[in-house]
Structure 1
């Protein structure tokens, strides 16, 4: 087993962080470009957002395939093949001439991009010691947030300076470089035990995970958190693009630097859970996300930025803790357990915009905040329920350890 701090630990962790950066940079590159895409193809806000949500939808669905497949084929090969496919799609996106072609390629890209997130945590679970796993998962999810920042900055700055197509050219170059480094750095699997590919067993594993109340609650928490968090950005972009803010695409891209707070949150999660139970870390993250959301109601640029910083920290603290709890709680078939968490996670991302849109249409940003708080209150309650399930009575029924 790989212990934290050694050469193999850092090679594997940094390779997965780079692969994660590449994956999520490609997912989120269109978000600051949404107003440009809407203008170029004469689309509504909801229609333009389809170029983003179709990617997260296909990514989520693909996880049902990649996770179980990696249990039979192997971890590294699945990650490499999927990253190559995603890079080819990014290159093809530079040539699209219609919105339907853009959406079709973004759908295919989303399918390929699911390979690494479906397998990465399972790879770490195979190779790393339990203590090293907690630390590595936090760093890996930090790579997710850095990828989200990087993709949006590329989209915003390159799109503003040249065109939205040029943003995909730049992303292709970045993807090729990340792919090469990932392939060279990631150690081959040593702790992996191959399982025969059996569709019936795959379905049985997935069914078993869904019947586990702890796992199912983690899945719902991850999905509903992302359901709100990521789609808040999609609507705040249109708030800030309009009067009185009138921000251009490059400044909208800079807005996503608030994800750096998420990098800190996810990196700290591995240390926090050594002292605080994971369900309480999830609850803390959700409470922080709720407080940041309320702060944005002040509707000044500084308070919106601070609110999004708080949101990002809280969201990634909760997400890191929940995904780690899934790996710890799964009874076998850990790759499919982690994949199922991410299925809920990305289905939440792809559907949250539809939920928030009526609130946006009726009340603008105030409506988005109201819709967010309704869902997050339920998520907070679910995290507290998880904590109660981990409590063991000692003497008195209300005393827990």
Structure 2
């Protein structure tokens, strides 16, 4: 198999794997109102079905990332997705809410094996100038999975209850999982290493101490917390007065995920061309704009805001996740990728609960203020990191290089102002 064919096969496999992962991870989200009605729970409590899975993923990301160094990344990703699929097929038959939450926690632990390893796998097996576009395609798979799973689960759930909705998503994920197992090539560039705590903790220290990586970590925490909050409570807002949208039609709002499919791919390419921080800051700004648009009481404007919000978030996530793969040193790449997943899904778990509580306490407007503050804080850290990185490069360069850098910056400024 030549390199181009192998790269294409990797892209298709990871696209399908991401689709299955995110369809399973968020399967209960579109039918949360049905869960709340059947079990007599408040929106903040029933959101545990989503938060438990993302918490499991966050906690398991680093251990499974370390395991992949020992047994191989392909083996961990395939095993993890198979376990998650089996649990997905089991969930519709469980009648006790507490047991559902526990199983969702375990399912989150399982999917961590793919989520925490995929970025490192792509960075080593693809790398080079193709990495931005390939990472964008992988993130596009997460958006397709999120959209398709939520849409399918919501529509089927309106007619067959939450049991039917969750089962339909699991069957879709089963097809994607089977194709993922068949298509994903074994590693060529990764050398397995014996399990050793020294290199593991050394890599973690390196990944934690690199100040440049703090920016994408924070984007993951606050951006994902904002994103999950909106999608957790959206169904409650759309189906309640004064909008009173039928559940099957409310599920169509998840078509907004299509915007993320497009923007994640475009953002990856734009980051390769224009720089990561520029595209990342733009993505955060667009995300906040979408939130503000959703303050409107008009359904059409709310849907437009949701599209803008989703597109902006996935653009930012695509760039931030790719930034980690490039910035981390080779010996810390897996740990940095796992830390990003920890931040991302920890933000989903904790942010989803906090954001849901803010919606219950202050309504949609109060929740919007909180989420905009989160996004602004992430943007400030990215901006500060950008300034410090530029100063560090200029200070470390010889005088001629520093003069050239200054001249280039001035020329760039004149070009942008013209």
Shift of the alpha carbon at 1:374? 1.2
What is the SS of the residue equivalent to 1:298?
A: coil
Larger radius of gyration: 2
Alpha-carbon spacing, 1:38–1:211, altered in 2? closer, same or farther (3 Å)? same
Change (3 A) 1:358 1:77: closer
Match of 1:202 among 185, 200, 203: 200
- The reply on whether 1:345 has 2:344 as its aligned counterpart is yes
Q: Any conservation in 2 of the 1:58–1:111 contact (CA below 8 Å)?
A: yes
Counterparts of 1:177 and 1:246, CA distance in 2: 35
Deviation at 1:271, TM superposition (A): 1.7
Partner of 2:320: 322
Does the 8 A contact of 1:32 with 1:253 survive in 2?
yes
Task: Give unpaired runs (5+ residues) of structure 2.
Answer: 395-401, 410-418
2:85 is aligned to 87
Shift of 1:140: 0.4
SS class of match (1:190): coil
Deviation at residue 352 of structure 1 after TM alignment: 1.1
Instruction: Deviation per CA, 1:83-137: give whole Å up to 9, x if none.
Output: 1110110121121011011111111111111111111111111211311111110
Relative to structure 1, the CA distance from residue 316 to residue 34 in structure 2 (aligned partners, 3 Å threshold; closer, same or farther) is same
TM-score by length of 2: 0.92
Alignment of 1:272-283 (within 5 A): 272-283=270-281
Indicate the structure with greater helix content: 2
Secondary structure, counterpart of 2:189 in structure 1: coil
- Determine whether 1:164 maps to 2:162: yes
1:249 shift after superposition: 2.5
Q: CA offset at residue 400 of structure 1?
A: 6.8
Which residue, 260, 266, 269 being the options, matches 1:268?
266
Q: Is residue 215–residue 378 contact of structure 2 (8 Å, CA) maintained in 1?
A: no
Alignment deviations for residues 135-185 of structure 1 (CA, whole Å, 9 cap, x no partner): 110000000000000110121011111121122322232222112111111
- Indicate if the aligned counterparts of 1:280 and 1:383 stay in contact, CA closer than 8 A: no
Q: How many residues align?
A: 399
2:412 corresponding residue in structure 1: none
Greater shift, 132-141 or 121-130, is seen at 121-130
Instruction: Show the counterpart of 1:24.
Output: 22
Mapped to 1, the partners of 2:95 and 2:69 lie a distance apart of: 39
Tell me, in whole angstroms, the C-alpha distance in 2 between the residues paired with 1:120 and 1:334.
11
Contact 2:36 2:46 in 1 (8 A): yes
Matching of residue 259 in structure 1 with residue 262 in structure 2 = no
SS at match of 2:34: helix
Instruction: Give the aligned CA root-mean-square deviation in angstroms.
Output: 1.8
The answer to whether 1:65 aligns with 2:31 is no
Match of 2:221 in 1: 223
Give the structure 1 partner of residue 414 of structure 2.
none
State which of 163, 177, 182 in structure 2 corresponds to 1:179.
177
Q: 2:365 aligns to what?
A: 366
